[in-house]
Structure formats: structure tokens, C-alpha cells
Amino acid sequence: MTTPTVAVLGLGAMGLPMATRLAEDLPVRGFDINPSRLDLAEGAGIVRCASAVEAVSAADAVLLAVRDSAQLSDVLFGGNGIAPSLARGSIVILTSTVGTDGLADVVARLGESDIELVDAPLSGGPARAGAGDLLIVVGATPAARAKAAPILERLASTLTVVGDRPGDGQALKTVNQLLCGVHIAAAAEALALADALGLDTERTLEALGAGAAASFMLANRGPRALQAYDADGAEVLSRLDIFVKDMGIVTKAARAAHLATPLAAAAEQLYLIGEAQGLAAHDDSAVIKVIAPTRRNA
């Protein structure tokens, strides 16, 4: 499929820029329950569809973002599931981090209709999605990867094939999220300590970013962690409760592998406390307020 027709279900913060990027070169059909998102999609050259079933019925590939494995099963096989409307030989591209639980059953059920799952969790924000600058890791059969290539290559600047099985991408993304979740928590703890020691936190952040302690998450989340103390908080680019979910996937996978992950477990507890304190919808950098509810040296 050199020019596959793609259905994008969900035209939110990530779905719309991905669909818009794909629509530059490919026919794209879109659906979202929010009419205003459909209006934006239509303006970007995306075919507006009245339902998910309508969107996928004329598609070679479906780009799917869901919250977890239960939602994945419901979208595909629930009461209004799209699976019966998918064409034989088509592919479903899963872009979410859902873990490996239940994925084998999804693959088997889709396979009964000659439909393959491309396990392709991604990293990057809306701006990078719109620019085709995402990091995507892929687990899928060679045949399914070939079908997905015209789509994934337009979305990714870094496209890494992890293995030939759906689930391989989820496994690598689980490892990735362990590091991300721990790094965000560590950056928050470090900045809270700097503030408690009476240091200028902005200057501290600048100094740390130039040395051996630098990390992507420190540079990316550090400024937003400091903004978490502002009246309106930091701009929400990644919700805290996403890491409640993702660190849960990490620690569950580690237990299943009989592997101790004490740092991941500690970070998971911080996100859970943050959620309990009403920070679920805040940017994940707000985890600093779990460690230090108030800033001592503004």
C-alpha cells in the first residue's frame, strides 16, 4: 500500500496533528465525538465521518489511540466495536502505551478476519506529531510493517523495529516509561531540595543542565515543575495520571518477570499520591508538589 487510506479515530491533542500530517500525502478519514475537532480536521483536508464505523469502513489502516487494554478491546470488539467493519487484509496501528496484557487475545481475534495489529507506541508531543518528528517503536510481522510503513514513516523521525511480534513495541515502551517516570520524579526531588537549601532554582536548573546530571526530563520538565507553584500551574502537556497508568504497567510487568524495580515502585507511589491530592489532570511535573507542597524561596 503505497498510498493507503487511513482512518484516525480520536482527533484530540495528538490525533489531530497526526491526521493533519498524514493528510499532506495520504487520504485520511477522521472521527471524533467532539464536533469542533471534526471542524478542524475538515479544514485540514481530512474526510469528516459521522462515526468510527463509517471512518474505518473505507480504510486500509486504522490509527488508534486508547487509554488502556480494556478500552482497546472495547473499541475493537465492544457493542459498537469497529472490528466487524474492518476490511480483510487491513491493519490496526496501536499508538498507545497499554502494556502487553491481553494483547495476544486481540491479535488472535483480529487474525480471524485476516487483520493484523501493528504495535507502535509513540513518544513526542503534539508539535512533534504535526512535524513528523515522533519516536515510534514497532512490533509487528514483516508483512504488517510493510503495510504500515507509508504511515509510520510520515509520522516518525526515529522509527525502531523492536521485533516481529505485536507486544514487542509495548515491552520496549514499558522500559522507556520506567526511565521517564523515574527521571521526572528525580528531577522534581532535586529541584525541591535546591529550594529547601535556599538556592535560586532557576539558576540551579541552568547549572544542572550544563553538567553530568543533565537529562531530557530535567530540561523538559524542570521549568514546568517550577511553574507548578504558579496560580495557574504549568501548561498541561502530559497529565500526571498518565504516569499513574504507565508506572502501573511498569511495576506489573516487573512483578510478572519476578524482577525488583524499587525506583519505579517509589516513583509510582509519588504519582499515586499526587492523583489522590487532586493533581491527576495537572501536568506530570506537578509531582514536585507531592514532595514540597509549597515553594520556600519564590
The catalytic residue positions are 173
Q: Quick check: helix, strand or coil at residue 249?
A: helix
Report how far residue 181's alpha carbon sits from residue 191's, in angstroms, rounded to the nearest whole number.
16
239: which 3 cell numbers? 497529565
Report how far residue 6's alpha carbon sits from residue 38's, in angstroms, rounded to the nearest whole number.
16
Report how far residue 74's alpha carbon sits from residue 72's, in angstroms, rounded to the nearest whole number.
5
**Pairing, β 116-119 against β 91-94:** parallel
Report how far residue 164's alpha carbon sits from residue 215's, in angstroms, rounded to the nearest whole number.
31
Give CB contacts under 8 A, 24+ apart, made by 132-135: 132/21, 132/156, 132/157, 133/157, 134/158, 135/160
